[in-house]
Amino acid sequence: MGQSHPAFRFSRSLFRDLRRWVTAAAAAVALTGALLTVSPPASAAGLTQVTGFGTNPGSLSMFTHAPAALPSGAPLVVALHGCTQSANDYYAHSGWPKFADAYGFALVFPQTTSANNANSCFNWFEPGDSGRGRGEALSIKQMVDKAVSLYGGDTRRVYVTGLSAGGAMTANMLAAYPDVFAGGAIASGLPAGCASTVSAAYTCMYSPPDKSPAQWGDLVRAAAPAGTTSWPRVAIWQGTADTTVQPANATELREQWTNVWGVGQTPSRTQSLGGGTTLSMYDDASGRPAVEVYSVSAMAHGLAVDPGSGAEQCGSSGAYYLDTICSSYHTARFFGLDGDENSGTLPAPTALTVTGTTDTTVSLSWEAVDGAASYTVYRGGTKVGSSTSTSYTDTGLATGTTYSYAVAAVDPAHNYDHTVAGRAYQSGGYTYAKGSGQAMGLWNTFTIHTLEQTAPGHYVIDDAGCSA
């Protein structure tokens, strides 16, 4: 983008904190026939360049990161760097790899160069690079197709996020490919379709046009395939002290995407988070956030990170990576990538033990937790099943492969709790599971159910627990 600003160039979650289910003891087993070998969990792969991902009309490079033994059907997140940055820079600072490894999803880091743009910015303001089926936008779409093929990913759970120029390109990708992306997060970015020239890009950055919500929404509808009725969910991150991309852009983004979703401009609710961050949520008709706005007080231009080893911390500070709050953590939760639907405040089970193996199975046991309604089992950070007892057998494993396991205790949840957490909704004093619409009884603190998430935003009653 411009020469003087090199960096430019979803939240209340349905789920609980990762730290509440990480076990004090994790089991790792390598299967070689019936022989059990105890070893540390397999380490995740680093950043890998992928070639041959399509015609690549935008002349971009593709880099990926995926956890070891990533199961098929895992989600995919595309992460777009800012100007003067690179795929490796975003990989090293943003914190996304931590949650890819913990929750079990793949990452794609597209990269542009100074040959495409003097400041190595994605050309979000060029119609030939930001529209559907064109230039850089098409190259990014081809990377998605390649990654889904490589990792056997779930095409219903593909997301995109980006910083600054990468954030602006994210907005355009969401508009151009609503059939590809289930959600997106725009960090210090601009509304879709805000600019179509370099000079207009500077105007958008410093003094964005004050269009009506309908006018902004029309730009998205015009960029999308004709007849589109299903839209991505959008998280918007903005620092209040940003002088490169004025905070007014977050307002225009909110107006754009709430209009696309057909919801009002008044937040359904607000929440105070760490790092001086205020979260405003705008719910769809089912009561689930369609748009979320994270306003970080006194933060300048950059991506919000929070270095440290805590469950809600991530990334490392640096130029345009600002130590405030871990945006990647909250965005992953907004996308629904954290994997568990019902973990509460119960402690993690102890004495997790491998009790037996075959060449394709592992049997586990653990100590009971008082008050637990059931237990959720994770393999390599990804949920593989649940049990109402203190044992579980994992099947379909590969001989000679190392697996790591963790178990979470799930507390009983009242219908009121499910509704507040966004897993259910109430109508006429009764509660219904989101997505499936299954009747759960009265909306109160006495009726208890366990819900299982079977797809993004879709829950079913599972009082007996999932089968092994």
Active site members: 164
- Strands 158-163, 183-187: parallel, antiparallel or unpaired by DSSP? parallel
Sequence-separated (6 or more) residues with CB below 8 Å from residue 215: none
Measured between alpha carbons, how far is 437 from 241 in angstroms, rounded to an integer? 43
> Tokens 């002290």, residue?
241
Whole-number Cα distances in Å, 331 to 32, 184, 186, 299, 392: 39, 9, 10, 18, 31
CB 133, CB 51: distance < 8 Å? no
Residue 91, both tokens:
């990989």
Closest CA to 139 of 153, 123, 117: 123
User: In this structure, what are the phi and psi dihedrals at residue 108, rounded to the nearest 5 degrees?
Assistant: -120, 130
Residue with tokens 């839209």: 231
Nearest one of 144, 140, 155 to 72, comparing CA atoms:
155
Q: Supply the DSSP symbol for 134.
A: S
Are 154 and 73 contacting, i.e. CB atoms less than 8 angstroms apart?
yes
